[in-house]
Amino acid sequence: MKILVVDDDPNVCEIARLYLEKQNAEVVTMGNGTEALEYFRQAGADFVILDLMLPGMDGLAVCREIRKESTVPIIMLTAKAGEYDRILGLDLGADDYVTKPFSPSELVSRVNSLLRRIEFDKNRHGGEEFEFPGLRIDVASRAVYVNGEAVKISPKEFDLLCLLAREAGRVFSRERILTAVWGYDRYVNYRPVHVHIKWLREKLHRNHGYTYLHTVHKVGYKFEVRPGNS
């Protein structure tokens, strides 16, 4: 596995490299957001750890650009403890965040935890597929197809879609979604749910004969196949 670590503090990069290499990962470190995005586009990576404050292009902008073209897992590093900055990172497609200062062991634990969740979902539902009019979800490969064409969605978008599709017709509260998909045990902000539903709708409903994700007023969301733009 190749992990791209982007932070303008050389000490953070070096410590992250040392600890992640102990997990048998290949680690590439960079200190500039613009250069890191160029590297990612040319050479790719299996996992990205991204500081919020970077020269060239800040971490939020880099995260946004990566999400336009890749579903690679992303962890944001932030020295800002404010809720707004953490939520904004998740809104832009990050899968998790770590607040500075942090212990290297915590960072490794977050990386492993995210990878385990992805792998566990693959193994638990190995071979599982969902077929709906115009939509196919292949759980083993974490792939989504609309009208036979592959659609790129992030790990969190995929987990959210599968949660709802597995029990089509059931209404999921925002609290239930935050617990199941993000692992939150307290609910201070529902924006990640709203934003990821919005992104999924844009990808699954656009120029398409069916809609799937629907709001249940004051309760939450449900998966239900409906014709047209209803």
**At 184, which CATH number?**
1.10.10.10
The whole-number pLDDT of residue 64 equals 87
Question: Do 27 and 112 share a domain, yes or no?
Answer: yes
**Residue range 197-226: average pLDDT?**
90
CA quadruple 161, 163, 169, 172: dihedral sign: negative
The whole-number pLDDT of residue 85 equals 63
Please state, for a pLDDT cut of 90, what percent of the chain lies above it.
Answer: 42
Locate 182 and state its tokens: 């993000």
Question: Do 167 and 94 share a domain, yes or no?
Answer: no
Which residue's entry shows tokens 């939450």? Answer: 220
Q: Read off the amino acid at residue 21.
A: E
Measured between alpha carbons, how far is 125 from 116 in angstroms, rounded to an integer? 14
The domain tally of the chain equals 2
Measured between alpha carbons, how far is 50 from 21 in angstroms, rounded to an integer? 17
The whole-number pLDDT of residue 40 equals 95
**Which DSSP letter does residue 103 get?**
-
Question: Do 9 and 69 share a domain, yes or no?
Answer: yes
Q: Which of 121, 152, 177 is the last residue of a domain?
A: 121
Cβ(100)–Cβ(11) under 8 Å? no
Measured between alpha carbons, how far is 57 from 40 in angstroms, rounded to an integer? 14
Instruction: Tell me which residue range forms the domain holding 61.
Output: 2-121
User: 146 vs 206, which has greater pLDDT?
Assistant: 146
**pLDDT at residue 214 above 60?**
yes
**pLDDT at residue 178 above 60?**
yes
Question: Do 141 and 200 share a domain, yes or no?
Answer: yes
Q: What own/partner pairs with CB < 8 Å and gap ≥ 24 does 86-89 have?
A: 87/189, 87/191, 87/192, 88/60, 89/52, 89/59, 89/60, 89/63
**pLDDT at residue 181 above 90?**
no
User: 94 vs 137, which has greater pLDDT?
Assistant: 137
Angle at 119 between CA 115 and CA 120, to 5 degrees: 115
- Give the confidence band of 47 by pLDDT, cuts at 50, 70, 90: very high
Q: What region does 141 belong to: left with phi over 0, alpha with psi -120 to 50, or beta? A: alpha
Question: Do 65 and 115 share a domain, yes or no?
Answer: yes
Question: Do 157 and 108 share a domain, yes or no?
Answer: no
Between helices 191-205 and 83-91, what is the axis angle to 10°?
10
Nearest by Cα to 69 from 153, 144, 132, 2: 153
Question: Do 81 and 192 share a domain, yes or no?
Answer: no
> CB atoms < 10 A from the CB of 226, how many?
13
The whole-number pLDDT of residue 126 equals 55
- Give the mean pLDDT of the chain: 86
Question: Do 96 and 169 share a domain, yes or no?
Answer: no
The whole-number pLDDT of residue 15 equals 93
Ranges 109-118, 121-130, 179-188, 198-207, most confident: 198-207
CATH of residue 79's domain is: 3.40.50.2300
**pLDDT at residue 123 above 70?**
no
The whole-number pLDDT of residue 122 equals 59
Question: Do 59 and 43 share a domain, yes or no?
Answer: yes
- Give the confidence band of 84 by pLDDT, cuts at 50, 70, 90: low
